[in-house]
Amino acid sequence: MKVLRFDYDYESREDATLRLLCMSDFHRGNPWMDENLFYKYRDWGVENDCMVLLGGDYGECINSKDVRHDPNAVDWDYSTPDKQYRKVMEDLEPLKGKIKVMLDGNHDYAFWKRHNHNYVNWMATDLNVPYPGISAYIMIRFRRKTGASKTVESHILRIFTHHGWTNARTDGYKVKVIHDLKNIFSDCHLYLSGHVHRLGSVFPTNHLYVDERTLSIREHTQQYYYTGSFIKGYEEGVGNYVESRAYPPTQLGSLILEVKPNRVDGKKDKTINLFDIRQIPEGWMNGSRS
Ligand SMILES: [Fe+2]
């Protein structure tokens, strides 16, 4: 766990749009990784002004001594963790400078525990990225420049991001486990999780508090997003774990969010949503957005 703080400077509210690319669960080394889709998201991140948050499970990281080992689930081009993480490192290199955090996933962490080799820490060091382990509390300070080098500090976007740690099979339980992140840090605007190989939002909640100056009840909305994966489910040929366990097919890819600062009246408004946060729809990939 680490607490991290970054700045996002802007000149006018109209032009201020922070883009967050939240990627997790690549599973390099698994033959069902959708490599082409991964590169589409990676390249979008390279070409666009954005901050990149990485959520773990970069390599499949299961060797032949592991009870989870399945010879049908080995991409023989990347059959060992060494080959997998070397490839992940190559793939992430073009995003260097944009990556703000690199979490562990359970696959990365299990290998570290069993074999005392921490690939994620090594990659984060090479990329000069904070390595907080499985979760991080991230503050992004939106600062509006008002000219003549004066800046007015405005709002802080608070994010809690965790790789996720659950064997939840039901959709209802997946809703519960991401909402449970609010029980750890209750004040965030945005909660992110990987691991369950789902992509997109879970319904929001509101956080209540009392404004100590006016003794009024205030609230802000809290949003929850799963950050996707790149493992295909049902393909022709020998089935993978998705098919053998009868998991439902899911949408692959990564999460892209746009965050804009809002104008709020702290004296009058009951709901103080400092930010407008929305997911960029898939259309960007077909050229309708960039
Ligand atoms: Fe995972």
The per-residue pLDDT for range 119-130, each reduced to its tens digit, is 999 999 999 999
Residue 182 scores a pLDDT above 50: yes
Mean pLDDT of the chain: 91
Residue with tokens 């945005």: 190
pLDDT digits (tens, 9 = 90+) for 158-179: 999 999 998 888 999 999 999 9
**Interval between CA 27 and ligand 1 midpoint (Å):** 9
Q: What is the mean pLDDT of residues 75-80?
A: 92
Tally of domains within the chain: 1
Helix (H, G, I), strand (E, B) or coil at 85: helix
pLDDT-derived band of residue 288, with 50, 70 and 90 as boundaries?
very low
pLDDT at 274: 92
E strand or H helix that includes residue 172 = helix 171-179
Question: Residue 207 — pLDDT band, cuts 50, 70, 90?
Answer: very high
Q: For residues 188 and 154, what is the distance between their CA atoms, to the nearest angstrom?
A: 16
In this prediction, residue 33 has a pLDDT band, given cuts at 50, 70 and 90, of very high
Measured CA distances, 73 to 45, 86, 185, 231 (Å): 29, 19, 37, 11
SS3 call for 140: strand
15-24 tens-digit pLDDT: 899 999 999 9
- The Cα 142–Cα 139 span in angstroms is 9
Give the whole-angstrom CA distance, residue 229 versus residue 253.
Answer: 6
pTM, to two decimals: 0.94
- Residue 283 pLDDT: 66
For residues 256 and 47, the answer to whether their CB atoms sit within 8 Å is no
Question: What spacing in Å lies between the alpha carbon of 95 and ligand 1's midpoint?
Answer: 22
Q: What's the CA-to-centroid distance between 106 and ligand 1, angstroms?
A: 5
pLDDT of residue 235: 84
Cα gap 52→99, rounded to integer Å: 4
Tokens standing for residue 18: 């922070």
User: What is the whole-number distance in angstroms between the Cα of residue 108 and the centre of ligand 1?
Assistant: 9
Centre of ligand 1 from the C-alpha of residue 253, in Å? 15
Domain span at 147: 2-286
Gap from CA of 201 to ligand 1 centroid (Å)? 18
| 289: pLDDT strictly greater than 70 | no
Q: Which residues contact 250 (CB under 8 A, 6 or more apart)?
A: 197, 198, 199, 229, 233
Q: What is the mean pLDDT of residues 193-201?
A: 96
Angle (CA) 240-244-246 rounded to 5° is 115
CA of 183 to the centre of ligand 1 (A): 21
Task: Read off the tokens for 253.
Answer: 């890819």
pLDDT surpasses 80 at 193: yes
Ligand 1 centroid from CA 186, angstroms: 24
Least confident of 28-32, 148-152, 160-164, 187-191: 148-152
pLDDT at 262 over 80: yes
Helix, strand, coil tally for the chain in percent (to 5)? 25, 30, 40
| Residue 290 pLDDT | 34
Alpha helices in the chain (DSSP H): 35-47, 81-92, 106-115, 119-127, 171-179, 241-244
Classify residue 140 as exposed, middle or buried by CB count within 10 Å of its CB (0-12, 13-18, 19+): buried
Which of 269, 262, 276 is closest to 211 using CA atoms?
Answer: 269
Instruction: Please report the pLDDT score of residue 263 as a whole number.
Output: 84
Token pair of 85 as six digits: 């993480």
**9: CA distance to ligand 1 center in Å?**
33
Q: Decide: 47 and 77 in contact? Cβ < 8 Å.
A: no
Kindly give the distance from the C-alpha atom of residue 197 to the centroid of ligand 1, in angstroms, as a whole number: 8
Residue 164 CA to ligand 1 centre (angstroms): 7
3-state SS assignment for residue 182: helix
Cα(107) to ligand 1 centroid in Å equals 6
pLDDT of residue 72: 81
CATH number where 230 lies: 3.60.21.10
Whether the CB-CB separation of 98 and 78 falls below 8 Å is answered with no
pLDDT category at 285 given cuts 50, 70, 90 is low
- pLDDT attached to residue 15: 84
Distance between CA 75 and CA 145 in Å, rounded?
A: 50
Distance in Å, CA 12 to ligand 1 centroid: 39
What's the longest Cα–Cα distance across the chain? 65
